[in-house]
Structure formats: structure tokens, C-alpha cells
Amino acid sequence: MSCYHRIPKSEIQCKGVISGVPLDVGEDEIVACCDGGFEAKRLKSRRSGKLEDTMSVCVTFGQKYLPGEVKLGFQMFEVRPYVPYGVLRCLNVKGLAILLISVRDQPGVL
């Protein structure tokens, strides 16, 4: 019996963040300009108790890899990988979801 599963191409996706997008540019325009992008969501920030739109947009691409840049109108924007806020990070090694036990085993870390 095989433990490997084949992931259909329709389910392969990756998320990236584009910063510095003006607030007057809608999410529909961003999806139309992004090659391979099929969903865009403007990130929100809580200021004085209210959620406000920021100039950063999370774009979901239907590809295996993120593109390096995206062209919106006449401007080029760099695409960075999207890391959700709730991911555990080890402050000593800056790794994601590392157990403290494995960090203690490394000499000179703790």
C-alpha cells in the first residue's frame, strides 16, 4: 500500500503579499493583472478600534511557485511569501514550529 497521494493541479496554490498597492486599486483589478492569480484580499489593520484597509494585498496564485514580480498598470511590485500571523516561531533560531527540546540539544543556543 502506498502512502503517497497525488495532489490534483487544481489544488496546487501558493500565497504571496504585494506591498505598496494604492487603496484606490480594487481587488478585481489586481486579480486581472496578476498572471496566474485567482484571488486577492486586501490585508486589514486595526487602528483606534476599527479595521482599516492597508496598502498590502494577499494574492493566491494557482501555481507551484510564486512569481518574483507582478505588474499592475505601469508599476512593478515585488511578491513576498505570505506567512500567516498565527504560525509559531522559535525566537532563538528563527525557525517555524521548532520544539524547544530540539533547540536545547544544539550547543550554544540556550
CATH label of the domain that carries residue 19: 3.30.70
pLDDT of amino acid 55:
93
Looking at residue 101, its amino acid is: I
Q: In what order do the strands lie in the sheet with 37-47?
A: 37-47, 50-61, 14-18, 75-81, 69-72
Please indicate whether residue 52 or residue 3 has the higher confidence score (pLDDT): 52
H or E element that contains 60: strand 50-61
pLDDT of residue 20: 92
Task: Say if residues 53 and 23 touch (Cβ distance below 8 Å).
Answer: yes
**CA nearest 60: which of 39, 35, 79?**
39
For residue 38, give its domain range.
9-83
Is 63 among the domain residues? yes
Residue 31: inside a domain, yes or no? yes
- Residue 18 pLDDT exceeds 90: yes
* Residue-wise pLDDT tens digits, 54-110: 999 999 988 888 888 988 888 999 999 988 776 555 666 555 554 545 555 555 544
In a domain, 105, yes or no: no
For residue 97, is it within any domain? no
Within a domain: 36:
yes
Q: How many residues does the chain have?
A: 110
In a domain, 98, yes or no: no
Number of domains in the chain: 1
3 within domain boundaries: no
Predicted confidence at residue 110, as pLDDT, reads 45
**Contact residues for 103 (Cβ-Cβ < 8 A; gap 6+):** 90, 92, 93, 109, 110
The answer to whether position 109 is within a domain reads no
